[in-house]
Amino acid sequence: MKPKNNPQRIAQLVFVLTAAVWLGGAVFFTFVAGPMFFAPELAEALPKPRDGIVAQELIHRFTAFQLSLAAIAALALLAGWRLESDGEGGKFPRARALLLAVMVALIVFGLIYITPRLEWLHQMKYPDYFKIGTTPEQTAYANKSFGPLHGISQIGNLVVLFGLVAQLVLAWKAAVGMKEDRSM
């Protein structure tokens, strides 16, 4: 069966490709791009606190990338479900929808709650650079609080990364299962 003759297969393909691109981007961001900003080899070219400023910009762009792919995945998931059984809509893919919703919730939580606090603490750590007035106690608080909050954000990032692996596996199984169902 050719995909052009089956809109549900096209929706499945879009979902699988979206999951694969999102997973690849997350792996690259987590293990290659993110750590590069803090590599000792770049310390001269990108000294503190500039390394953090550039990393913040990368995080904003990566968040937009993730939310864009989440929207595409949601649309493909809904389209595939509605097109199942010749437009009647079959069984709703709850596991994939719930997994997608949890990942989006974590990303939005990071966007709304964690990222602004990390940016604020980053400025408090380097008050001279940002030309803001802080007390030594505030700077000490920022130095003490930044690391644990950054650790929490990294744990959230890893949870999303594992969710993306699961999402790709579920999407692949659904696409292969659909092919087997159609061949009978």
pLDDT tens digits along 126-156? 999 999 999 999 999 999 999 999 999 999 9
The verdict on residue 131 lying in a domain is: yes
Residue type, 140: A
Domain count, the chain: 1
Q: What pTM was computed for the model? A: 0.88
**Contact by Cβ (8 Å): 152, 114:** yes
For range 70-97, the mean pLDDT: 86
The verdict on residue 23 lying in a domain is: yes
The verdict on residue 181 lying in a domain is: no
pLDDT tens digits along 20-59? 999 999 999 999 999 998 899 999 999 999 999 999 999 9
Domain assignment of residue 139, given as a range: 3-174
Plot region of 132 (φ>0 → left; ψ -120 to 50 → alpha; else → beta): beta
The verdict on residue 87 lying in a domain is: yes
